Amino acid sequence: MKRSILVVAVLLVLSLAVSASANTLTVYSSVDEENARALLNAFTQSTGIDVRFVFLSSGPALARMEAEKNNPQADVWLGAPSENHVLAKDRGLTQPYMSPNAAALDAKFYDPEGYWTSFYMNPMGVAIHTGWAERAGIEMPESWYDLLKPEFRGEIQMPTPQSSGTAYNLVASMVLAWGEDEAFDYLKELHKNIQSYTQSGTAPSQAVAIGQAGVAIQFTPAFLKLMDEGYPLKLIFPKEGVGYEAPAVSIIKGAPNIEAAQALVDWLISVEGQNKLSELKTYFFPVHPEASTGEGLPAFSDIPTIDYDALWAGDNREYLVNKWIDEVLRGQ
């Protein structure tokens, strides 16, 4: 009798554990851990839906979803530029969901079939360590071509498009704006001034903040945060124009908690969710036209941007990355 009661008790505990797991939304996040935690905690406070997340940059996230394709272990992929979500769609890793809140967004911020929805955007920027520039007598660059000058030799850090969606955005933006030949001629010349290519899209900001590099190229949030914290940085938007990222959210195909996953998509692009971007000081630009940009961010309309085509960028990613490896990195 006692044994029967014990077995029932164990089964009850296991049942509750499974139930709790089933009611917990699991997210693979390519948003940096600090901002992902803040946003997902705000979502939980608003909806009561518990969330656990695993941080994975875009390449590892795609590989993880591919490996788990027949037995999905997560519900949502959060973050990474939208062209990465185009790849996920093409590989059959995600499923469509057109949120009713998407109607307020510009059409460039969501997939026409609902496979992904952008929930913030950030321009590419160039940060200069002002202390280094003063000591070296460097004039602040105004153009992408200024970075080819010999005084910048060995002082520039940027991520590599082999692993970073940030760097791929830079390559694709230049090809879209300048044409393939001019863009790759430029990138070959820029290579001569590169100190190092980082695996992470945000690593250059840390290096330029402490003076390890004189110049860093990446998306702006980390620059803006470091400037807010008092680091001696000057943020430049080259006059020829910059690309921008529009990180997206996708629901993984076969997601165990589909309703909770849909609720997250709805909340992220609602005015409430969009306003959290500034309230939580993420330094991300909202995509909803009625959301607040917040203090410390330049008006997105004042930044010279390149008309970025995420669908084209997604379709041409493998070709352009391989071309960059062969012609820029290896110099063939």
Domains of the chain: 2-119+246-297 (3.40.190.10), 122-244+312-329 (3.40.190.10)
Contact 132, 234 (CB under 8 A): no
Q: What is the pLDDT along the chain (332 residues), one digit of tens a residue?
A: 445 444 444 433 333 333 334 579 999 999 989 999 999 999 999 999 999 999 998 889 999 999 999 999 999 999 988 888 999 999 999 999 999 999 999 998 999 999 999 999 999 999 999 999 999 999 999 999 999 999 999 999 999 999 888 899 999 999 999 999 999 999 999 999 999 999 988 899 999 999 999 999 999 999 999 999 999 999 999 999 999 989 999 999 999 999 999 999 999 999 999 999 999 999 999 999 999 887 777 777 788 999 888 789 888 999 999 999 999 999 97
User: Residue 4 is inside which H or E element, if any?
Assistant: helix 2-22
- Burial of 211-238, coded b for 16+ CB within 10 Å and e otherwise, reads ebbbbbbbbbbbbbbbbeeebbbeebbb
**Residue 22 per-residue DSSP state:** H
From the list 73, 75, 67, the residue with the least C-alpha distance to 27 is 75
pTM: 0.76
CB atoms inside a 10 Å sphere around CB 77? 29
* CA–centroid distance for 258 within its chain: 23
